[in-house]
Chains A and B, each alone.
Chain A
Amino acid sequence: MKTFTRVSALAAVAALSLAACGAAPEDEETTSAEDTAAAEETTEAAEAVDFKACMVSDEGGFDDASFNESAYDGVQRAAAELGIEHAEAESTAESDYAPNLEAQVAAGCDLIITVGFNLGDATAEAAAAYPDTHFAIVDFGYDEPIDNVKSLYFDTDEAAFLAGYAAAAASGSGTVGTFGGMNIPTVTIFMDGYLAGVNYYNEENGTDVTVLGWDGADGSFTGDFSDQSKGQNTTQGFLDQGADIVMPVAGPVGLGAASAIQSAGGAWLIGVDSDWTESAPEYADIVFTSVLKNISNAVFDTIEATMAEWSNEPYLGTLENEGVGVADFAEGTVSDEVLAALEEIKAGIIAGDIEPSTAG
């Protein structure tokens, strides 16, 4: 044991010293003219613009594989492409919202983006206290617009409607399923659109495809956005009842659904928020399609727009402005006929002829 400890200690020391043997960075004057020019160019591209975008998460944190993370990606992209400064603060409890916002105001943030309805009150309060700072909030709208707060929200039911229609067409068993993390509007809007899409397919084609897990008012919810085993159980339950396409609207819990479907075989998954063939490549072979909610783009666009001029005009992601959409369908699952029908429906939703939600 003692020898082992000694040997490992020696190895560790050796590794550290080898790692520490790198050359120190050269000083400026030794670089050639060419290098300097190149260096100047890079500095120009990454030159810090006098604009600071900040972001406050809710309790999920920026690694929630859900909307906090999408929004954070938007800030990261803005920092890389627009060269803005940025700062982030994760909330771990409700009592962190206000202090996080205040710290960011104090740090001189030009635009502070908050994520989720939980931060609605705190954002409104901070906006009132600091009228010169601009705020934006993801997934939440105020009844009365506030001058220095911009709301970013999404008509995800429009995209889910298309996914529901396609799922109804592709289902071999005539049964599809969906479940949510919690019964809250930002989740159920997916399920509403999905159900409405399936119903629309039934009306048009005289079929009787049923949806498990959501009836327009209540349905299956796992109760949180973190426990993957619940997603696995719920999905297994759907599969046992004959469902062959399942759409989990529960952030990372959906990965549990994916693993249940993968091990059962013969069924498909509909991803949400991002394209799951990219965000969860290990399940790419069972992803039927994904209902996209482009929070990251919306955040990026908001930052870019605010750098030029402030406007509190809410941003509403729709099929029309591609704030929401569906990813490519898995090969061979959807016939050309259905694809054509989907194009028509999409046009109908954009034109307002088709109501993409069961809620009316």
Chain B
Amino acid sequence: MSDQTTATEAPQQERPGRASTVLREILSSSTLVVVMAVVASLLIGGVLIVLVDEGVQEAAGYFFSRPGDTFTAIFDELGAAYSAMFTGAVLNLDADTFAQTIRPFTQTLTMATPLIFAGLGLGIGFRAGMFNIGAQGQLLIGATVGAYIGFTWDLPWGLHLLVAILGCLVGGAFWGFIPGILKARTGAHEVIVTIMLNYVALNLVAWLLTFDAFQREGSNNPISPIVAETAQYPKILGSQFNLHLGFLFALACAFGVWWLMERSTLGFELRAVGANANAARTAGMNVTRATVLVMVIAGALAGLAGSAQVLGTEKVLTTATAGSLGFDAITVALLGRSRPLGTVLAAILFGGLRASGPTLQVQAGLPVDIVFVIQALIVLFIAAPPLVRSMFRLPAPAIEKEVAA
């Protein structure tokens, strides 16, 4: 990513930056390439699982005297790993009750919720030609505002949740507005500004959490009080499932983003700016306004991702609230090719990978790092469509598809 950054720093305005060329290349890769990237990542993950397994290593030590052992060990290990992933992310077939059987999938959807929100926002940015790395910070600031409203204010049912959600939205939007206005007015590159604002946000939250106003009574630990029940997303499938209203809200946002980008004039403008800012300016579009708006919308959606954490699953604010969600969301948006439907599906895939972490560790005894390796491999393959095409002998695309089309 760093060389893309420096490339776009070139003063010439005439030619589109290398970053946007790469971005366009990624976005125009075919669905098949994306699917194959996921498959390849899972396969390589499997190879790694086999390589580190002690049983396989032991059996491989006497491979030539009894090769069967090695293969049995390999199949046992892979079987354990993939079945643990399935049990953790899709269905638990050993469970006694129906609720327990489908619980893993609801967990996957729960884990996917913040990724949908943040991924949608990033997707808009990518299509408008903005490489926004700041979802992490926007999410955290949104979560901070929303959580603060959640645990200090005392409002009636319904209203409290609405206000808290609005708080998340405004907080995130504000944190997105800063790089937007800096880019529009001064040309400050959004990649650098958003990365730096991530640090500012993280340290700001760490600092806020040292104050009594953000801590629990009688405790000095940097962890906020629990958000009031009136400000929490209600659980939509009953209390035995973690799936909360935020998921439906995320789906609604996905529809909203689809309408915005595909059906509205504003969306057309944003896409035009992303395709070629100079042409858009010549055509009389307000590029400055579009730049700021994109970042504000992306920030607002990242802030809502924060609401899924503090009002949905975690219910408290700590410095770890954002986890690595803001960065995972970048992958999700790229994997979903920045389209709302794609983003939702990619988020569910990543939610599933995330949800399989505990069973992978506890049932199969594998390190959770395998999940991150798979995620990272997906990024790698997505960023290099020709690599995937050559691996699976896919035909090269005949014509580069136009993003703005």
Chain B residue with Cβ nearest A54:
B362
- Kindly list chain B residues whose C-beta atoms are within 8 Å of the C-beta of A17: 64
Check A92–B324 contact: CB distance below 8 A. yes
- Kindly list chain A residues whose C-beta atoms are within 8 Å of the C-beta of B372: 92
Given contacts A90-B367, A94-B318, A100-B361, contact A184 B221 (CB under 8 A): yes
- Whether a CB of chain A sits under 8 angstroms from the CB of B316 is yes
Check A183–B210 contact: CB distance below 8 A. yes
- Kindly list chain A residues whose C-beta atoms are within 8 Å of the C-beta of B218: 143
Interface residues in B305-359 by Cβ distance below 8 A to A read 309, 313-316, 318, 320-321, 323-325, 354-355, 357-359
Q: How far is the CA of A185 from the CA of B218 in the complex (A)?
A: 12
Interface residues in B360-376 by Cβ distance below 8 A to A read 361-363, 365, 367-368, 372
Residue A94 contacts which of B107, B314, B368 (CB distance < 8 angstroms)?
A: B314
Looking at the assembled complex, report how far the CB atom of A85 sits from the nearest CB atom of chain B, in whole angstroms: 11
Check A185–B314 contact: CB distance below 8 A. no
Given contacts A95-B309, A107-B362, contact A20 B61 (CB under 8 A): yes
Check A87–B320 contact: CB distance below 8 A. no
Check A92–B61 contact: CB distance below 8 A. no
Check A96–B358 contact: CB distance below 8 A. yes
Given contacts A90-B368, A118-B223, contact A99 B358 (CB under 8 A): yes
Residue A121 contacts which of B220, B226, B368 (CB distance < 8 angstroms)?
A: B226
- Kindly list chain A residues whose C-beta atoms are within 8 Å of the C-beta of B314: 94-95
- Whether a CB of chain A sits under 8 angstroms from the CB of B65 is yes
Residue B365 contacts which of A59, A87, A185 (CB distance < 8 angstroms)?
A: A87
Q: How far is the CA of A117 from the CA of B63 in the complex (A)?
A: 48
- Whether a CB of chain A sits under 8 angstroms from the CB of B222 is yes
- Whether a CB of chain B sits under 8 angstroms from the CB of A308 is no
Check B206–A103 contact: CB distance below 8 A. no
Looking at the assembled complex, report how far the CB atom of A49 sits from the nearest CB atom of chain B, in whole angstroms: 18
Q: Count the B residues whose beta carbon is within 8 Å of the partner chain — how many?
A: 45
Q: How far is the CA of A17 from the CA of B65 in the complex (A)?
A: 11
- Whether a CB of chain A sits under 8 angstroms from the CB of B53 is no
- Kindly list chain A residues whose C-beta atoms are within 8 Å of the C-beta of B65: 21-24
Interface string of B60-92 (1 = CB under 8 A from A): 111111100100000000000000000010000
- Whether a CB of chain A sits under 8 angstroms from the CB of B138 is no
- Whether a CB of chain A sits under 8 angstroms from the CB of B203 is yes
Interface string of A94-118 (1 = CB under 8 A from B): 1110111011101100000000011
Interface string of A262-296 (1 = CB under 8 A from B): 00000000000000000000000000000000000
Looking at the assembled complex, report how far the CB atom of A133 sits from the nearest CB atom of chain B, in whole angstroms: 13
- Whether a CB of chain B sits under 8 angstroms from the CB of A38 is no
Looking at the assembled complex, report how far the CB atom of A69 sits from the nearest CB atom of chain B, in whole angstroms: 15
- Whether a CB of chain B sits under 8 angstroms from the CB of A355 is no
- Whether a CB of chain A sits under 8 angstroms from the CB of B111 is yes
- Kindly list chain B residues whose C-beta atoms are within 8 Å of the C-beta of A96: 354, 357-358
Interface string of A295-310 (1 = CB under 8 A from B): 0000000000000000
Check B361–A87 contact: CB distance below 8 A. yes
- Kindly list chain B residues whose C-beta atoms are within 8 Å of the C-beta of A121: 223, 226, 315-316
- Kindly list chain B residues whose C-beta atoms are within 8 Å of the C-beta of A98: 242, 313
- Kindly list chain B residues whose C-beta atoms are within 8 Å of the C-beta of A94: 309, 314, 318, 320-321, 323
Residue B313 contacts which of A21, A25, A54, A95 (CB distance < 8 angstroms)?
A: A95
- Whether a CB of chain B sits under 8 angstroms from the CB of A341 is no
Q: How far is the CA of A92 from the CA of B323 in the complex (A)?
A: 7
Looking at the assembled complex, report how far the CB atom of A221 sits from the nearest CB atom of chain B, in whole angstroms: 10
Check B220–A104 contact: CB distance below 8 A. no
Q: How far is the CA of A90 from the CA of B366 in the complex (A)?
A: 10
Q: How far is the CA of A120 from the CA of B215 in the complex (A)?
A: 14
Interface residues in B179-204 by Cβ distance below 8 A to A read 203
Residue A95 contacts which of B64, B111, B219, B220 (CB distance < 8 angstroms)?
A: B111
Given contacts A54-B362, A87-B362, A94-B318, contact A21 B64 (CB under 8 A): yes
Check A182–B206 contact: CB distance below 8 A. yes
Residue B62 contacts which of A25, A95, A184 (CB distance < 8 angstroms)?
A: A25
Check A99–B107 contact: CB distance below 8 A. yes
- Kindly list chain B residues whose C-beta atoms are within 8 Å of the C-beta of A117: 221, 223
Check B66–A24 contact: CB distance below 8 A. yes
Chain A residue with Cβ nearest B59:
A24
- Whether a CB of chain B sits under 8 angstroms from the CB of A93 is yes
- Whether a CB of chain B sits under 8 angstroms from the CB of A89 is yes
Q: How far is the CA of A88 from the CA of B88 in the complex (A)?
A: 16
Chain A residue with Cβ nearest B69:
A24
- Kindly list chain B residues whose C-beta atoms are within 8 Å of the C-beta of A59: 320
Check B221–A185 contact: CB distance below 8 A. yes
Given contacts A94-B320, A103-B361, contact A223 B62 (CB under 8 A): no
Q: How far is the CA of A223 from the CA of B205 in the complex (A)?
A: 12
Looking at the assembled complex, report how far the CB atom of B85 sits from the nearest CB atom of chain A, in whole angstroms: 12
Chain A residue with Cβ nearest B320:
A94
- Kindly list chain A residues whose C-beta atoms are within 8 Å of the C-beta of B63: 20
Residue A93 contacts which of B210, B221, B320 (CB distance < 8 angstroms)?
A: B320
Interface residues in B279-313 by Cβ distance below 8 A to A read 309, 313
- Whether a CB of chain B sits under 8 angstroms from the CB of A19 is yes
Looking at the assembled complex, report how far the CB atom of A19 sits from the nearest CB atom of chain B, in whole angstroms: 7
- Kindly list chain B residues whose C-beta atoms are within 8 Å of the C-beta of A188: 220
Chain A residue with Cβ nearest B111:
A95
Q: How far is the CA of A54 from the CA of B363 in the complex (A)?
A: 12
Q: Give the most central of A95, A102, A182, A223: most B CB within 10 Å.
A: A95
Q: How far is the CA of A199 from the CA of B359 in the complex (A)?
A: 51
Check B220–A184 contact: CB distance below 8 A. yes
Q: How far is the CA of A88 from the CA of B325 in the complex (A)?
A: 23
Looking at the assembled complex, report how far the CB atom of A165 sits from the nearest CB atom of chain B, in whole angstroms: 25
Check B320–A22 contact: CB distance below 8 A. no
- Kindly list chain B residues whose C-beta atoms are within 8 Å of the C-beta of A118: 223, 318, 320
Check B324–A89 contact: CB distance below 8 A. no
Check B203–A23 contact: CB distance below 8 A. no
- Kindly list chain B residues whose C-beta atoms are within 8 Å of the C-beta of A120: 221, 223
Check A19–B358 contact: CB distance below 8 A. no
Chain B residue with Cβ nearest A108:
B362
Chain B residue with Cβ nearest A185:
B220
Check B66–A100 contact: CB distance below 8 A. no
Q: How far is the CA of A184 from the CA of B219 in the complex (A)?
A: 10
A-B contact pairs, 8 of them (CB 8 A): A21-B65, A87-B361, A90-B368, A92-B372, A94-B309, A102-B358, A117-B221, A184-B222
- List of 5 A-B pairs having minimum Cβ-Cβ separation, nearest first: A93-B323, A103-B358, A20-B63, A24-B62, A24-B66
Given contacts A20-B62, A90-B368, 15 further A-B pairs with CB under 8 A are: A17-B64, A22-B61, A87-B361, A90-B367, A92-B324, A94-B309, A94-B318, A94-B323, A95-B309, A95-B313, A100-B358, A102-B358, A117-B221, A121-B315, A121-B316
